[in-house]
Structure 1
Amino acid sequence: MTTGTTTPYRSRRPTGRAGFPHLLRAEWTKFRTVRGWVLAMTAAAVVIVSLGLIFATGSHSSCSIGTVEVACPKPPTGPGGELVDDRFYFVHQSLAGDGGITVRLTSMTGIITYPPPNHDKIVSGLVPWAKTGVIVKDGTRQGSAYAAMMVTADHGVRMQYDYTHDTAGRPGRVSAASPRWLRLNRSGDTLTGYESADGTQWTQVGTTHLPRLPATVQIGLFVASPSDLTVEQSALGGSVGQARYTQATAVFDHVGLRGTTPGGQWSRDDIGADGQTDWQRYHRPSGVRESGGAYTVTGSGDIAPLTDGPPIERTLIGMLAGLIVMIVVAVMFMTAEYRRGLIHTTLIASPRRGRVLAAKAVVIGLVAFVAGVAATAITVPSGTRILRRGGAFPFPVSSLTELRVIVGTAALLAVAAVLALALGALFRRSVAAIITAIVVIVVPYVLAFASVLPDDVTRWLLRLTPAAGFAIQQSVPEYKQVIGNYAPSAGYYPLAPWAGFAVLCAYAALALGLAAHRLRRRDA
């Protein structure tokens, strides 16, 4: 009789059932051992940084006083740090503490200089966002905090404050037969706006809290009229905007002030005026006339966010070249398996083919993301500083928006690399996959911003193709209260940043699904 010990059974995972972490390590080893791929990804990051900084260094802006070239003044900055347009005619008095102003507005007329089709005469009319009404403002400094109740040419009564905020009231224009009463009250740091058709029954339009307002503010009447913008299709297919000088005139009566004001004479300021146009010199300058208790005020300009100037994403001009390099590497990472006949060995080691493709996607996506973050984290802040020193003032953005542009661009590169990898698995030929990836990702973007197609066509390209993902870079929003050329050729995307990025992700997911299906059915 023999005796002995029994060795307990130990389960061993067969090589063909390697876990996903093991697959990740294996695919990462494949990637890093090919020196050309590593160098190419490094070169892509270097290209993004170098081209972005070269662009910023070469961007200068200057102004002239007579024949002398001087640095351009920085545009005024609003309470939220945004660049603003703050130009209007202001008839005002000081208000200490709580109080308010009530007026009746009986007329609003204007002129537009040299509009199409012939650009040969000055016509009567108002641009849609010409505005006039009552305002409470922290002094006369451009960019200071304010709240205003107003009537606009085509957008009815509005309450606007601190440049970016807009609340709609009753629609319709003002006339002698249909006057508008406006009221703006201050109580502490709370500003409340009202409107009325008869001066008896009042409707509240909006309210806001402005803790930045000092104890003593300026209160009074204002008129502003933005430039008339005409957007025309260029010969190449894009759009070209032309802005012309405009002016508005409003007639106020029943002007009543409540609170501690010095009374007597009104102060008069053309806020933000930097001289007069030739038309103003020889025709009708901005100003105010008083007669029988009625005030006729004429002014130009706007009180709104500024939409002219380079956004921070402009520093990422080299991203397109870096993206093409990453597309080539991502495709080669997949097709090299077929070209060298290694795909059979890979699938024997891991029969679960979908997991092999997923591991490759994770590796190439992470490599592209890391390279993208490293490049954009250097380029965006450094490039914006260089632009400011050169007098080309980029739009200031919040820290969260800057982070979204930096990280979002890296995510865009990562998802685009995954999409290219999936195309490599579908076509299994490098040239076909690279060309397809460039055609669906890069070409629509180039067509949209090179002004070679009509804006309506490019909007659909940036909605329906993977190039929609570039919207993740947009840092400056559209403002409904600002007339602008919000077209792709001007840097605006038809989809919100994350919505556009979701379109790219959907394409990558679809391509991965199709690639996995084909990989399960056929090795090579």
Structure 2
Amino acid sequence: MSRLSAEWTKFRTVPGWLRGTVIAALMILVFPATGLGGGPPEHASPIPIGPDGGPVSAAYYFVHRTLTGDGQITVPVGFDGPAAPWAKAGLIVSAGPEPGARYAAVMATGGHGVRMQYDYVHDRAVGPAGLRWLRLTRAGDTVTGEASADGTRWTPAGSVRLPGLPATVRAGLFVACPPKVDGLGTAVDAATATFGPPGLTGGWAAGDWTGEQVGAGTATMGGYPRGVTGGFTPVGDGFTVTGAGDLAPATRNDIAVAASAADLLFGTFPALIVLVVVGTLMITTEYRYGIIRTSLSADPRRIRGLAAKAAVLASVTFTTSLAAAAVALPLWLRLVRGLGIYVFPAAPGTLLRAAAGTAAMLAITAVLALAVGTILRRSATAVTTVVAATVLPHLLARTPFLPAPLAGWLTTYTPAAALAVQQTLTRYPQVDSVYTPAAGYYPLSPGAGLAVLAAYTVLALAVAAVLLRRRDA
């Protein structure tokens, strides 16, 4: 305990060290202001919000009739030519005409077999692409999907309950095709499918089928490729339908002007540089002025001294950084929303993890700098080494123009993997998009990313301990 007390006294009596941790905390708190613009465009398109409160893509071409009460629709379906892997053609029951309304659908896809999906975020694999007959049954507020290869033997796709489903709904055929990933961006796409004669039972309205593009003009509707329009054409007793858009959770790439909570922690990067300097100087200053001899004379157990320095540095850094992040997140979230900028929702537990994870990342990085300073014993060399190993990969990984494989490598195998602790966006397996660190998506989980940084730090501390024991002061 005496060595810890001595190191704490030393830390707080050196103005630059304590001041550095305070400056780093202020950077976390204040730095988001540098990235704020004038808010969204004057005529921003509305963002559809799904039943769970998150943004969704809710656009598709819909050929429908009204269904009152219970009913069933059965139809054969197939794509006309090659289709994108997540192009969708199938049957849907929608709770309302507005984008973001509850729905349940069974569908064939271009490359992922038959699926049962509902309320945008829920996806269930049903069977292979050979199941080309689809059936959807409504009974009260429960919708059941089935698929078949021959229209005789049926494979259950699942039943879902849609709370609040009105007595009269719109139901029928739909086609959607999300934008395709094109390099570091996306390009609009469309798909065409042919439906056989729909078999109807139950309370279907008489009359002709009606076709419309759902979700036109919404922020998450990418549009159609040049020269292609959505529509349907009767073919015998069936239809050919061309559609674009998607029924799925919205990703960062789907909304032109949006932010995530992690964007408001951008002050982490300048704070990281300051704390690297503090962590390095905490040991290299002693070597430079010969104070290390006094420290070792007072307690010749050198490893214990290094451990005490690391404990004091980590504790102070974690405490000040956590306080700054805990204040910065709710403060800036409120201010950004007040500017009219859409912010992807994040649960309170997720925000708490992002704040605590940011503080842990900064504390561990400061200890890494202490270890490297112990190894190299020269301030400039040690600071340059740690900045090159930690801050530089962080900044490169967040560069929008960096190739996705390289960004993924940097955030998997370098200390920049710890950035994953700030992730507040969800990557959905049923949505192809640009999932890169620049967009707020990381290849590792928050815990795994922090573990990579911790492993580098433990290794550096082990090397520092060996050298400290063997070398002369």
TM norm structure 1: 0.81
Counterpart of 1:27, as a letter, is E
In structure 2, how many angstroms separate the alpha carbons of the residues matched to 1:304 and 1:452? 26
Equivalent residue number for residue 195 of structure 1: 147
Residue in 2 that maps onto 1:406? 355
Alignment of 1:444-523 (within 5 A): 444-450=393-399, 454-522=403-471
Any idea what the Cα deviations from partners look like across 1:465-507, whole Å, max 9, x if unmatched? 1111112112223223222122344443222222111100111
State the Cα distance separating 1:376 from its structure 2 match: 1.9
Structure-1 residue corresponding to 2:248: 304
C-alpha spacing 1:295/1:436, structure 2 compared with 1 (3 Å): same
- Summarize the alignment of residues 83-98 of structure 1 with structure 2, pairs less than 5 Å apart: 83-98=55-70
Q: What is the Cα deviation at residue 84 of structure 1?
A: 0.8
1:455/1:487 contact within 8 Å kept:
yes
Provide closer, same or farther for how the CA distance between residues 259 and 519 of structure 1 changes in structure 2, counting only shifts above 3 A. Answer: farther
- Specify which of 316, 320, 328 is matched with residue 265 of structure 2: 316
Q: Does 1:255 align with 2:227?
A: no
Is it true that 1:169 corresponds to 2:126 in the alignment? yes
Q: Are 1:41 and 1:368, in contact at CA under 8 Å, matched by a contact in 2? A: yes
Distance 1:256 1:421, change over 3 A: same
- Amino acid in structure 2 at the alignment position of 1:248: A
Coordinate RMSD, CA, aligned: 2.7
Deviation readout 1:68-106 (Å, 9 max, x if unpaired):
xx341441111122111111122234445554432221x
Q: Is residue 2:31 matched to residue 1:51?
A: yes
Which residue, out of 174, 187, 201, partners 1:243? Answer: 187
Q: Is the 8 A contact 2:262 2:440 kept in 1?
A: no
Q: Is the 8 A contact 1:182 1:196 kept in 2?
A: yes
Counterpart residue type for residue 331 of structure 1 = T
More divergent stretch after superposition (95-104 vs 332-341): 95-104
Cα 1:355/1:211, change in 2 over 3 Å: farther
Q: Which moved more, 1:503-512 or 1:488-497?
A: 488-497
Q: 1:192 to 1:508 in 2, by over 3 A?
A: farther
1:236 maps to none
Look up the equivalent residue of 2:392 and give its one-letter code.
V
CA displacement at 1:347 relative to structure 2: 3.3
Which residue of 22, 31, 38 maps to 2:18? 38
Q: Name the CA distance, whole Å, in 1 between partners of 2:92 and 2:222.
A: 26
Structure 1: how far apart are the matches of 2:472 and 2:312? 21
Please state whether the residue corresponding to 1:382 is helix, strand or coil: helix
Larger Rg: 1
The 1-side partners of 2:12 and 2:425 are apart by 38
- 1:109 maps to 80
Please give the per-residue CA displacement for 1:297-332, whole angstroms capped at 9, x wherever unaligned: 232211111112432211222221111001111111
CA contact under 8 A between 2:179 and 2:187: conserved in structure 1? yes
Kept in 1: contact 2:190–2:224 (CA 8 A): no
Q: Displacement, 1:404?
A: 1.9
> What is the aligned counterpart of 2:170 among 215, 218, 222?
218
Equivalent AA in structure 2 for residue 229 of structure 1: V
| Structure 2 partner of 1:148 | 105
Q: CA deviation digits over 1:190-237, x for unaligned, max 9? A: 443221001111112344444354555432211112223321xxxxxx
User: Contact conserved, 1:82 with 1:397, CA < 8 A, in 2?
Assistant: no
| Shift, 1:139, TM fit | 0.9
**2:59/2:215 contact within 8 Å kept:** yes
Q: Structure 1: any 5+ residue segments left out of the alignment?
A: 1-20, 63-69, 111-124, 173-177, 232-239
- Aligned counterparts of 2:276 and 2:223: Cα–Cα separation in 1: 55
Amino acid at match of 1:247: A
Aligned residues: 466
Matched, 1:61 2:40: yes
Q: In 2, distance between residues paired with 1:362 and 1:32?
A: 14
- The letter for the 1-side match of 2:374 is A
Amino acid at match of 1:299: G
Task: Determine the structure 2 residue equivalent to 1:295.
Answer: 239
The alpha-carbon distance between structure 1 residues 214 and 420, as it changes in their structure 2 partners (threshold 3 A), is farther
CA distance in 1, matches of 2:287, 2:149: 77
Question: Which residue pairs with 2:92 in the alignment?
Answer: 135
Distance 1:429 1:218 in 2: 72
Partner of 1:9: none
Q: Is it true that 1:335 corresponds to 2:292 in the alignment?
A: no
Measured after TM superposition, the shift of residue 438 of structure 1 is 0.5
SS of alignment partner, residue 192 of structure 1: strand
**Separation of aligned partners in 2, 1:215 and 1:348:** 85
- The one-letter code matched in structure 1 to 2:39 is H
Residues 1:392 and 2:358 are matched in the alignment:
no
The answer to which of 345-354 and 428-437 deviates more is: 345-354
Deviations 1:334-367 (A, max 9, x none): 2233233333333344343333222221211121
Q: Contact between 1:447 and 1:453, CA under 8 Å: does it hold in 2?
A: yes
Relative to structure 1, is the Cα distance of residues 419 and 59 closer, same or farther in structure 2, using a 3 angstrom cutoff? farther
User: Structure 1 residues 399, 260: CA separation in 2 closer, same or farther (over 3 Å shift)?
Assistant: farther
The reply on whether 1:180 has 2:160 as its aligned counterpart is no
Q: Distance in 2 between matches of 1:44 and 1:278?
A: 44
Please state whether the residue corresponding to 1:133 is helix, strand or coil. Answer: strand
Q: Does the 8 A contact of 2:425 with 2:440 survive in 1?
A: no
Q: Judging changes above 3 Å, is the alpha-carbon distance between structure 1 residues 389 and 255 closer, same or farther for their aligned structure 2 residues?
A: same
- AA aligned to 2:177 is S
Q: Deviations over 1:15-58 (max 9, x none)?
A: xxxxxx333332222211222222221111212222212313x2
Q: Distance in 2 between matches of 1:472 and 1:184?
A: 42
Deviation at 1:279, TM superposition (A): 7.7
Quote the Cα distance in structure 1 between the aligned partners of 2:401 and 2:75. Answer: 51
Q: Alpha carbons of 1:283 and 1:50: their partners in 2 closer, same or farther (altered >3 Å)?
A: closer
| CA spacing shift, 1:228–1:450, aligned 2, 3 Å | closer
- Tell me whether 1:437 sits opposite 2:386 in the alignment: yes
